[in-house]
Amino acid sequence: MIPAPAFLSNPERFMAFSRWAAPMFGAIAVVLGAAGLYLGWTAPEDYQQGATVRILFIHIPTAWMSEFVYACLAVASLLSLVWRQLLADAAAQAAAPLGAGFTLLTLATGSLWGRPEWGTWWVWDARLTSVLVLFLIYLAYIALRASMDDETKAARAAAILALVGAVNLPIIHYSVVWWNTLHQGASVFRAGGSALAPVFYWPAILMALAYTSAFGSLWLVRIRGEVWRRRAEAAALRAART
């Protein structure tokens, strides 16, 4: 049997770490977010997009987060399946609602940018459709966990769903390469350097770091909640037996 990392097998150590790490990440997110918003709203309007360029400072980071959170969920699910660790499963369960929130924002802010720029709220192109599929996978994961009373079976079934759903991540990423899409290709990280001018690049980067830090904070808070929930349910079970 492969030994689990001590961090994953020791909830006490995690609770001690997350007690100070969650507020620290939250504070970092506030500082970076304030700096990103300041740079974003002091930047000049884009000569083609006008003021709608400011939507990109919140759309690009949330689009990255949709995929990043799912990658975290999938890795936690894999660790949960391999090591059957409480924390890995709690981490996967805690990531899902946050990922669904980021993906909902990706779809909504993208639509609000697309209407004035593309002339339509929605098109069934490969990028938009694959992100919609990601949102549905998040909802399916949450629904699956909620629908089963046996927590062990629910964890295993949800982990398998999460790993199967991970196939969608490269599809989202390369959709703009593999198919002709209305959605533009990579514009921030790409060969030959960013397509964004520095006045637009830095607000997007700072906001992405702020979103990542905010996710780190909220993820830790939710994992702590999951640990408490499982402790409460174990205590309730013990009380019922005595």
Residue 181 near residue 127, CB atoms below 8 Å: yes
Residues from 38 through 97 that contact other proteins (CB under 8 A)? 38, 41-45, 50-52, 54-55, 58-59, 62, 97
State which of positions 223-242 bind other proteins (CB under 8 A): 224-226, 228-229, 231-232, 235-236, 239
Q: CA 210, 213, 218, 219 torsion: positive or negative? A: positive
Distance in Å, CB of 65 to other proteins, minimum: 11
| Residue 133 or 199 having the CB closest to other proteins | 199
Q: How far apart are CA 90 and CA 85, in angstroms?
A: 9
Biggest CA pair distance of the chain? 72
3-state secondary structure of 234: helix
Closest distance of CB 232 from other proteins, Å:
4
Q: Cα separation of 63 and 107, whole Å?
A: 8
Q: Which is nearer to other proteins, 54 or 183 (CB)?
A: 54
> With respect to other proteins, which residue has the nearer C-beta, 56 or 158?
56
* CB neighbours of residue 198 within 10 Å: 9
Q: Which is nearer to other proteins, 153 or 229 (CB)?
A: 229
Closest approach of other proteins to the CB of residue 44, in Å: 7
In this complex, which beta carbon is closest to other proteins, that of residue 54 or of residue 145? 54
Footprint on residues 95-154 left by other proteins (CB under 8 A): 97-98, 101, 104-105, 108-109, 112-113, 115-116
Selection from 140, 136, 182 nearest residue 161 by Cα: 140
Instruction: Give the number of residues in contact with other proteins, rule: CB under 8 A.
Output: 39
Find residue 46's DSSP bridge partners: 50
DSSP secondary structure string for all residues of 108-126: HHHHHHHHHHHS-S----H
Toward other proteins, which CB reaches closer, 37 or 140? 37
Residues 5-44 that bind other proteins (CB under 8 A): 38, 41-44
Q: Are 111 and 121 in contact (CB under 8 A)?
A: yes
Environment class of 226 (CB within 10 Å of its CB; exposed 0-12, middle 13-18, buried 19+): middle
**Which positions touch other proteins (CB under 8 A)?**
38, 41-45, 50-52, 54-55, 58-59, 62, 97-98, 101, 104-105, 108-109, 112-113, 115-116, 214, 218, 221-222, 224-226, 228-229, 231-232, 235-236, 239
